[in-house]
Amino acid sequence: MKTAKNIFYLLLFLPLTIMAQGGESAFNFLRLPYSSRVAALGGKNISVIDDDLSLSMHNPALLINATDKTFDFSFMTYMSGSKVAGAAFNKTFGERSAGAVAARYVDYGKFDGYTPDNIFTGTFRAMDIELDFIYCYLLSERWSGGVAGKFIYSQYESLNSLAIGVDLGLNYYDPDHDFSASLTFKNLGGQVMTFEEKHEIMPIDIQLGLTKRLAHAPILLSATLTDLHRWKSTHFYNADGSKDNFGELLLKHITLGADILIGDNFYASVGYNYRMSRELSTGKGLAGFSLGAGLHINKVKFSASYSKLHISSSSLLFNIAYSL
């Protein structure tokens, strides 16, 4: 199929241009999970197959599985004083394509402003806004591809920036063996308007994900490889200031998760993210571990998760969805 080949070659050769980029990135809120199920699975997952609209925020190729005409709302507590809210709606077009629109708002709260001479200048707010347009196409019985266009705006006191980004996703799903594999390229693009004079790169992330249901148990096992274009120890941070050997560096690219399916309408999830455990560990708590659950009743889905995404506090993420 010509369309499938074009997408395959694009995904194959795109890393050659991405790997040439480096440095610190802006708009890192784009790394935050939208889906509570993904948050429960370690914060990174692109391959779980379900009719949950929120999963397509992490891989646009999964949108084809979402229940038609669904409204999804999310709310997350982030670092101390910060809140994240989001909303999405999708619609299928025929049997092979689907589209969705989504938005997310991050409110960091109020801050006190001071001059270099420590003179109080008043209070201000800091915020991030993201608007997504997603399209997904069923390439064949087992392959789907998707693209998400992003408009991103950030404002911190008098500084503001505007960027345009793109997510690309590809998914292979074998229902006979309950196996799913996905590849995504996230946050490709750049700033249209900079905070100051310097252009900053986007938080690009190349991810490869696998999910398999056990043959004789209602359990889904997932492994997600992230930041596949970044393999230098200087790209990562440890709370204790230590340097990573190759084994530790490899583990920082792997996120593990498991879902226990209890009937057709309930699941419980647990995940572990080694990178988060090293970046956020203070010797207390369960940094890197996450958990959650979801319930489906008629046309309503509700899910919640607990994880630690910032050193200042733990995060609770809730999704509620209603299908027309």
The domain spanning residue 278 has which CATH number? 2.40.160.60
> Model's pTM, two decimal places?
0.88
pLDDT digits (tens, 9 = 90+) for 73-98: 999 998 877 899 999 999 999 999 99
pLDDT digits (tens, 9 = 90+) for 214-269: 999 999 999 999 999 888 766 666 666 667 777 888 898 999 999 999 988 999 99
Is pLDDT of 169 > 90?
yes
Q: Cβ of 251: how many Cβ atoms within 10 Å?
A: 15
- What does the alpha-carbon distance between residue 97 and residue 3 come to, in Å, rounded to a whole number? 14
Q: Extract the runs of DSSP E, i.e. beta strands, from the chain.
A: 70-77, 83-93, 97-114, 120-138, 143-156, 159-174, 179-193, 205-213, 219-225, 254-262, 266-273, 289-297, 300-310, 313-323
Q: Cβ of 193: how many Cβ atoms within 10 Å?
A: 10
Domain count, the chain: 1
pLDDT digits (tens, 9 = 90+) for 116-130: 888 887 788 889 999
Q: Considering only 20-29, 76-85, 266-275, which range has the smallest mean pLDDT?
A: 20-29
**Collapsing DSSP states into helix, strand and coil, what is residue 64?**
helix
- What does the alpha-carbon distance between residue 276 and residue 287 come to, in Å, rounded to a whole number? 6
Q: Show the domain range for 79.
A: 2-323
pLDDT for the residue numbered 240: 62
Six-digit token string for 279? 């970046």
103 and 130 in contact (C-beta within 8 Å)?
A: yes
Q: Between 173 and 113, whose confidence is greater?
A: 173
Distances (CA, A) of 26 to 32, 85, 232, 316: 13, 20, 19, 24
Q: Cβ of 28: how many Cβ atoms within 10 Å?
A: 12
Q: What DSSP state is assigned to residue 26?
A: S
88 burial level (CB within 10 Å; 0-12, 13-18, 19+): buried
Q: Between 56 and 240, whose confidence is greater?
A: 56
Six-digit token string for 172? 């292979």
Rg over alpha carbons for the chain, rounded to the nearest Å, is 20
pLDDT for the residue numbered 313: 79
Q: What DSSP state is assigned to residue 61?
A: G
Six-digit token string for 123? 């209070």
- What does the alpha-carbon distance between residue 49 and residue 127 come to, in Å, rounded to a whole number? 32
